[in-house]
Structure 1
Amino acid sequence: MNPATDGGDRNRPNEPLLHAVDLHKSFGPTPALAGASMDLAAGEVVAIMGPSGSGKSTLLHCTAGIVAPDSGRIVYRGRELSAMSDAARSALRRSEFGFVFQFGQLVPELTCLENVALPLRLDGHKRREAERRATGWLDRLEVSDVAHKRPGEISGGQGQRVAVARALVTGPRVVFADEPTGALDSLNGERVMKLLTEAARDTGAAVVLVTHEPRVAAYSDREIVVRDGRTREMELTGR
């Protein structure tokens, strides 16, 4: 049985799941985004590429509702993020968005099972149900053997797979992955990307993937390049 929720077409026909246009964002005097735009369709994997400091992580943080842009529009399923309250955006990040970061960001005091169950617990699910679903995802990501270990007791590759399980356990519509293989060797990185993209496609989740590595971007359907805070779409050949 699939451990995630229904992954069918959950978006309105002919509408992007997420639409961001003409985003500007500065941190003090330093511009991070200078007119960046992107669309994301339901179920697709989009890689955001660019050199360090180009603005690619800022674009992810803005489209995920973590950081507010200075100007521009971000529309998710017909709702403008800037018009939502902080509480509504927080609820969105808990239930409809999943996150995988470069270093996993697992809670060190919790076991891996408790880490994966945490988003469900925060969303009001009872412990038994949350841990049942978490167990299914740990098995799916091939790390069920570390369920009762703490993050400091497992390898980096295992930790990232636990982080992927945590991102997917709520059945999100979008997974935002910021350099998910950046702290891993190539073998573990390939394994994490294979499991992440396969699981996302199986459940119908879209993925926004920030990376500077072509081998990681190769798992995507489309590539968007960010340079000096601006975006352009790459023409893909042979994929």
Structure 2
Amino acid sequence: MSTRNENPSGAAEPMIGATGLTKQYGRSQALRGASVTLRAGEILAVTGASGSGKSTLLHCLAGIVRPDEGEVSYGRERLDRASENRLSELRRTDFGVVFQFGQLIPELTVRDNVMLPLLLAGTDRAAAQDRADEWLERFGVRGQAALRPGELSGGQGQRVALARAWVTGPKAVFADEPTGALDSLAGEQVMTALVHAARESGAAVLLITHDAQIAAYADREVWLRDGAVHSGATPFAVQEAAHHEG
């Protein structure tokens, strides 16, 4: 497993920032004044117990859902005020998203799944195929390009999902429990590939996880409790220190 590295970009200004986010679903309060920043080139892990609001935070930062209150900024642009067309455009160009179960389209081949964001953005099909094959190669699944998602292992499927997220050259990638459905070996392989792609491309990564070993791949870690973001010593760090003292 890789170790934490300092933010290679050295950037002080956040690429994406959220302030005072609240979000309620029915009677459930998912976020309660959550604030967080993601800097260019860094990998930020957001940890916390199930139901703490991690996925909701990611969805707000990626422009998938709008907060009830608070601000989400991408550079100088307010995402919480942006039109749906603009948010869709950003997810095709500047943002990549990876979900726990990949969410590949089962009827399409692996190659077509990875090509799809490029085709939606108007890229020529031949150029899109070349770009898709390049990223499938980088994530070690070029040999599975003609298969359907149902023919892949869990780890292979997640690496295809990573290739799809990176194929457009995003500035930020949002990964929601990308190893949550994988065994430890497949999870390590996926995270190694993710970190390598982030360092190589310079993309920032927001990583949602409940796993301390996965969070250890990040440059920085914050944790959510009751819908609010906390920094400093995380529950994982406290537990690890207690274990060593024992």
TM-score range, shorter chain: over 0.9
Of 90, 105, 123 in structure 2, the residue corresponding to residue 92 of structure 1 is 90
Match of 2:44 in 1: 46
**Using the alignment, how far apart are the partners of 2:181 and 2:27 within structure 1?**
30
Match of 1:4 in 2: none
Match of 2:186 in 1: 188
Match of 2:132 in 1: 134
**Using the alignment, how far apart are the partners of 2:232 and 2:103 within structure 1?**
31
**Using the alignment, how far apart are the partners of 1:83 and 1:160 within structure 2?**
32
Question: How far did 1:190 drift?
Answer: 0.3
The count of corresponding residues between Structure 1 and Structure 2 is: 228
Could you say what secondary structure the match of 1:194 adopts? Answer: helix
Letter in 2 for 1:59: L
Match of 1:3 in 2: none
Question: How far did 1:83 drift?
Answer: 2.2
Tell me if structure 2 keeps the 8 A contact 1:98–1:176: yes
Letter in 1 for 2:217: Y
Match of 2:144 in 1: 146
Match of 1:169 in 2: 167
Letter in 2 for 1:21: T
**Using the alignment, how far apart are the partners of 1:182 and 1:83 within structure 2?**
32
**Using the alignment, how far apart are the partners of 2:233 and 2:173 within structure 1?**
23
**Using the alignment, how far apart are the partners of 1:121 and 1:115 within structure 2?**
10
Question: How far did 1:84 drift?
Answer: 1.2
Tell me if structure 1 keeps the 8 A contact 2:23–2:32: yes
1:46-93 deviation line (CA, Å, top 9, x unaligned): 000000000011000001100100000111011001221110011001
Match of 2:116 in 1: 118
Letter in 1 for 2:61: T
TM-score w.r.t. the length of structure 1 is: 0.92
Letter in 2 for 1:19: G
Could you say what secondary structure the match of 1:17 adopts? Answer: strand
**Using the alignment, how far apart are the partners of 1:188 and 1:84 within structure 2?**
37
**Using the alignment, how far apart are the partners of 1:41 and 1:82 within structure 2?**
19
1:19-65 deviation line (CA, Å, top 9, x unaligned): 10110000011100001000010000000000000001100000110
Structure 1 vs Structure 2 CA RMSD: 1.6
Letter in 1 for 2:176: D
TM-score w.r.t. the length of structure 2 is: 0.90
Answering whether residue 209 of structure 2 is matched by residue 211 of structure 1, we say yes
Could you say what secondary structure the match of 1:196 adopts? Answer: helix
Of 100, 112, 125 in structure 2, the residue corresponding to residue 102 of structure 1 is 100
**Using the alignment, how far apart are the partners of 1:15 and 1:196 within structure 2?**
23
Letter in 1 for 2:203: A
Instruction: Flag structure 2 segments of 5+ consecutive residues without an equivalent.
Output: 1-7, 238-246
Could you say what secondary structure the match of 1:54 adopts? Answer: coil
1:114-157 deviation line (CA, Å, top 9, x unaligned): 10111000100011000100000000000111000010111111
**Using the alignment, how far apart are the partners of 1:187 and 1:82 within structure 2?**
38
Letter in 2 for 1:216: I
Match of 1:19 in 2: 17
